[in-house]
Amino acid sequence: MSTIQVDVVSAEELIFEGLAEFVALPGESGELGIYPRHTPLITRIRPGSVRVKLEGQATEELIFVNGGVLEVQPNRVTVLADAAVRGKDLDEAKAAEAKRLAEQAMVNRAGSLDYARAQAELAEAVAQLAAIQRLRKIR
């Protein structure tokens, strides 16, 4: 089977590096699916799950990113994430609390900047919770 090199990098560290049969992630305009020999592409990505179908395995590696940039070359996918966490390291209680605080901040907003920040934090928390739910389904 044909594979593609995948690198997921956050500002702090290399999160994932390996060969994959397929990669799916949340592009700015919708879900993107990348197979080997994909047309070159650069786009922004939204908070959500990067799903990496590992070479020769039935399981997927799940990595949560809170945004960033995707670069696709025919034989390489590079995700430059603002922040990234392996799915197994996501904390559901922490994400639920962040969601609650963001919703509270949206109700008690002091200005448009606070509201926009609360919206972004809410989107990230909801995406983390969705990633946790997806991880439970694939285990």
Looking at the predicted structure, is the pLDDT value of residue 42 above 60? yes
Q: Would the pTM of this model clear 0.75, i.e. be above it?
A: no
Maximum CA pair distance of the chain? 55
pLDDT per residue as tens digits for the range 78-122 = 999 988 887 676 666 676 676 677 777 767 766 555 667 666 666
Q: 84 exposed, middle or buried (CB, 10 Å; 0-12, 13-18, 19+)?
A: buried
pLDDT of residue 24: 95
Nearest to 73 by CA among 42, 33, 29: 42
